[in-house]
Amino acid sequence: MSSDVSNRRLLDILTVLKRHHLSRGMTPQKLKEILEDLGPTYVKLGQIMSMRSDMLPEAYCTELKKLRTEVKPLDFSLVKEVVEQELCRPLESVFSEIQPDPLGSASIAQVHLAVLADGGRVVIKVQRPHIRETMENDIHLLKKAAKIMKIAMGTGDLIDFHTILDELWKTSQEEMDFIREADNLVRFYEHQQDIAYVTCPQVLTEFTTPRLLTMTYIDGIQIDHIDALRKAGYDMTEIGEKAAENYCKQILEDGFFHADPHPGNLWIVGGKIAWLDLGMTGHLSEHYKQLLRKAITALLMHDIYTLKNVLLTLGEPKDRINHARLYTDVDDIVSRYMTLDFGEMRLGDLIEKLLDLVKKHKIAISPDITLLGRSMITMEGTLAACSPEVNMLSILSMHMSSMIYDHFNWKKELIHRGRTAYASLDKSMEIPSQLSDLLNITKNGQTKLNMELTDADDFMKTFRQSVGYLVLGIVSSALFLGAVLLCMTELRPLIFGIPWISFIGFVLSGLIIVYLLYRILFRPKY
């Protein structure tokens, strides 16, 4: 884009920020309103930001989830122009009809119902013209203003704008590549083709390009339209249980899951659950799938030690880990949920608290895991909207039990346990010789004891601070007493009837006392 266009866009952004009184600080509600006023590009950025609780505080993520999904639709002449550019042929040679009014209009693309020349009904997803350039320019401007925004918003190190913007641009580029979304649809279909009650749109590859996605039309009922579904003869409890069961399969078995399963993306058609809009998906490696299974098992077994170790394995500590405090914090969170009846446990609340916990302990979690956490929270919200009596954690537990039963291999397990028992016996044979070596070392005075004091740094900081306060208190007392003694002499000149040096002593003593009171009463929090 030209510098004039960039300058105009920057002026628009500054006008919006000024209108919302950014200099007075930032709140979740204000950020949501600012993004809405800045236009479709920023709405999309806000929607992506809402999925990244590892970068933003939970209050901001919760508020940004409320951003509207519908934006002003494109003029149909522009839609026609994009379709013809992508297919390199007249629109009429491919489609006998395209409905001018879109089925939905979002920040990156909009969707239209169309009919192929052979009479087949399809849906076409058309990317907005110049959306990539517009978004790239906006992010470039935001990066330039990142430092100013941090100061003006008063967020300090609360929000790392550069990291967020880099992640948003990466995610947005992936969503703007419709070939990638088409691959997601194909892969999802392959994973679910043996599940009788699950379906998804089929891609028409010959009419699909990076800016145009053509897929089969699914005419159904949205999963949270309860009255319409019941009128059609559906059992809402069965729908909720099957949707949850299939979602568990996606994350625990397939390692490929729908990352935004809100009600608008799940429809019921012909007795099947149709998963729509796979522009945002998550991928879990075999390593992460095993860790996830271990975490769920540890949670259900109330195995705090294993759960703590899984959290450490899932992420990368950015600072020295206080293991005792981490263990206690995990125990506090899990114990609070173990007091509830199983049907009352809410997986979403638990995940949010665990995500907050890893941020508190400065553990950087993989984006795939964070995306999974937000996706699970969204899925639980969808279940609450259509089948409130269905419990996500209960379905997850049953699916885990079924997996263990189906994949349990007695022969393999016996061999594994036998090897473990042999290794333990072999090591136990070395204990007497090790004990003898320890006694000899101790007898010769060569024993060393390595200890790690929990919170030692905080303790030393508090200790030094207390000693400093004590020294200042002693100095203040000495100045005061010295000034009192000098008042009994004939020193001249006098200030307010007392010797000048006594006056200085009283002033210095008073200043030190005021400083100590300020530091004690308004001590900064570390």
Q: Which of 54, 224, 260, 277 is catalytic?
A: 260
CA angle (56, 455, 356) in 5-degree steps: 20
Paired residues of 281 in beta bridges: 258
Contact 292, 282 (CB under 8 A): no
Collapsing DSSP states into helix, strand and coil, what is residue 508?
helix
**Three-state DSSP state, 283:** strand
Strand 109-116 relative to strand 121-127, pairing? antiparallel
What gap in Å lies between CA 390 and CA 246, rounded to an integer?
14
Tokens matching residue 445? 């005075």
| Residues 282 and 257 sit within 8 Å (Cβ to Cβ) | yes
Cβ-contact 10, 44 below 8 angstroms: no
Asked if 255 and 292 count as a contact pair (C-beta separation under 8 A), the reply is no
> Which residue, 175, 160, 185, is CA-closest to 52?
160
* Residue 319 annotated to the active site: no
Cα-Cα-Cα-Cα torsion 387, 392, 397, 399, nearest 10 degrees, comes to 70
**Is the bond leading into 499 cis (omega within 30 degrees of zero)?**
no
Residue 461, token pair as written in the block: 């900081």
Question: What's the count of helices (H) and strands (E) in the chain, helices before strands?
Answer: 21, 15
Q: Identify the sign of the CA torsion 331, 335, 337, 338.
A: positive
- Please list the active-site residues: 260
